[in-house]
A and B are shown apart, each in its own frame.
Chain A
Amino acid sequence: MSLSRRELLKSAVGTSTLFALAPTVPAFLQRAAVAAAATQRRDTVLVVLQLSGGNDGLNTVVPHADDAYGRARRTLRLTQREVHKINDDLGFHPQMSGFARLLSEGRLAIVQGIGYPQSNRNHPVAMRNWHTAHPNDENCPTGWLGRAIDQLAPPGAMTVPGVFVAPIQQTLAVRAERAVVPTIREAQDGVLRGPAGTAAGIHADRLLAAAEVERMDQKNPLLHAARSSTRAAAIASRRIASVVADAGSTGNYPPLQLAQSLRTVSQLIRADVGIRIFFTELGGGGIGGFDNHANQRDNHAALLKQLSESVAAFADDLGRDRQLERVVLMTFSEFGRTLTENGRRGTGHGDSQPVFLVGGRLRGGLVGKHPSLTRLDQDAPKFHTDFRRVYATMLDAWLGVDSRPVLGAQYPPLDLFTA
Chain B
Amino acid sequence: MPTTPLTPAQVAPPTSDSSSDPAWAWAPYQPSGKRPWTRALAGHLLRRAGFGATWAELEQAVADGPRRTVDRLVRPDADLADFNRSHDDYESSAAAGGSADALRAWWLRRMIKSPQPLLEKMTLFWHDHFAVSAARVPIARLMWEHVRQLRAHALGHFPALMAHVLQDPAVLLALGAASNRKARPNEHLARQLLQRYTLGAGQFSDRDVRETARALTGKFVLRGQLRHFEREHDAGVKTILGQSGAFNGRDVLHVALEHPATARHIVRRLFRWFVSETEEAGDDMLAPLAEAYAKDYDTGRLVETILRSNFFYSADAYRRRVKRPVEFALGIIRALEGNVPTLRLANELAALGENLYYPPTTKGWAAGQHWINPALIIARNNLALALVGGQAPYGKKLNPVQVAQSHGRQDAAAAGRFLVDLLLPGDAASDVPRIAQQESAGGGNLPTSLRKLTHRLTTLPEFQLA
Contacts and interface: CB of A to CB of B under 8 A. Distances in A.
24 contacts: A1-B374, A2-B373, A160-B374, A177-B366, A180-B353, A180-B370, A183-B351, A192-B382, A193-B382, A196-B390, A210-B461, A216-B7, A216-B11, A217-B319, A222-B320, A222-B368, A222-B369, A223-B319, A223-B465, A225-B372, A229-B372, A229-B373, A229-B377, A236-B374
Nearest to B368: A222
A142 interface: yes
Contact of A141 (B319, B351, B362, B381): B362
B115 interface: no
A232 interface: yes
B222 interface: no
B333 interface: no
Interface string A212-240: 01111100111101110110110011000
Interface stretch (B62-70, B121-129, B225-233, B448-456): B448-456
B363 A141 contact: yes
Name the residue in A195, A196, A209, A217 with the highest tally of chain B Cβ atoms < 10 Å from its Cβ. Answer: A195
A151 B331 CA distance: 33
Contact of A213 (B8, B175, B368, B431): B431
Given A1-B373, A190-B375, A207 B188 contact: no
- Going nearest first, the 10 A-B pairs with the smallest beta carbon separation are A180-B353, A141-B361, A226-B461, A233-B377, A232-B374, A233-B374, A178-B366, A182-B375, A1-B375, A160-B375
A175 interface: yes
B318 interface: yes
A368 interface: no
Contacts of B318: 217
A176 B360 contact: yes
Contacts of B8: 216-217
A223 B369 contact: no
A194 to B, nearest CB: 7
Interface in A236-253: 236-237
Contacts of A138: 176
Given A177-B366, A225-B372, A214 B379 contact: no
A193 B385 contact: yes
A198 B452 contact: yes
Contacts of A255: none
B235 interface: no
A185 B153 CA distance: 39
Contacts of B373: 1-2, 153, 158-160, 179-180, 229
Interface string B322-338: 10000000000000000
A194 B456 CA distance: 9
Nearest to A218: B8
A139 interface: yes
Nearest to B353: A180
B315 interface: yes
Nearest to B370: A178
B391 interface: yes
Contact of B461 (A141, A158, A177, A211): A211
A226 to B, nearest CB: 4
A156 to B, nearest CB: 6
B464 interface: yes
A178 B389 CA distance: 32
A163 interface: yes
Nearest to B444: A197
Contacts of A153: 373
A222 B465 contact: yes
Nearest to A198: B452
A226 B462 contact: yes
Contacts of B11: 216
B175 A215 contact: no
Contacts of B427: 216
B292 to A, nearest CB: 29
Interface residues of A, number: 56
A216 B391 contact: no
Interface in A147-195: 153, 155-156, 158-160, 163, 175-180, 182-184, 189-195
Nearest to B442: A197
Interface residues of B, number: 56
Nearest to A194: B385
Contact of A195 (B7, B352, B375, B389): B389
A182 to B, nearest CB: 4
Contact of B462 (A1, A198, A216): A216
Nearest to A124: B138
A2 B429 CA distance: 25
A206 B456 contact: yes
Contacts of B320: 220, 222
Contact of A182 (B175, B379, B451): B379
A4 B390 CA distance: 36
Interface in B373-398: 373-379, 381-382, 385, 389-391
B237 interface: no
A175 to B, nearest CB: 6
B442 to A, nearest CB: 10
Contacts of A233: 374-375, 377-378, 381
Interface in B72-100: none
Contact of A175 (B188, B360, B371): B360
Contacts of A189: 378-379, 382
A147 to B, nearest CB: 11
Contacts of A232: 374, 377
Contacts of A206: 456
A180 B325 CA distance: 11
B461 to A, nearest CB: 4
Contacts of B389: 195-196
Contacts of A214: 429-430
Contacts of A227: 461
Contacts of A207: 381, 459
B460 interface: yes
B321 interface: yes
Contacts of B451: 195
A163 B375 contact: yes
A361 B427 CA distance: 53
A211 B459 CA distance: 10
B176 A155 contact: no
Given A2-B373, A207-B459, A215-B429, 14 more contacts: A139-B175, A141-B363, A180-B352, A180-B353, A183-B351, A193-B385, A215-B462, A216-B11, A217-B8, A225-B322, A225-B369, A229-B372, A230-B459, A233-B378
Given A142-B361, A220-B278, A237 B378 contact: yes
Contacts of B368: 222
Interface string B260-293: 0000000000000000011000000000000000
Given A141-B361, A178-B366, A229 B462 contact: no
Given A139-B175, A222-B320, A236-B378, A175 B361 contact: yes
Contacts of A217: 8, 315, 318-319
Nearest to B361: A141
Interface in B309-323: 315, 318-322
A201 B395 CA distance: 24
Contacts of B363: 141, 177
A229 B362 CA distance: 27
Contacts of A182: 351, 353, 375-376, 379
A160 B368 CA distance: 16
Name the residue in B315, B318, B391, B464 with the highest tally of chain A Cβ atoms < 10 Å from its Cβ. Answer: B464
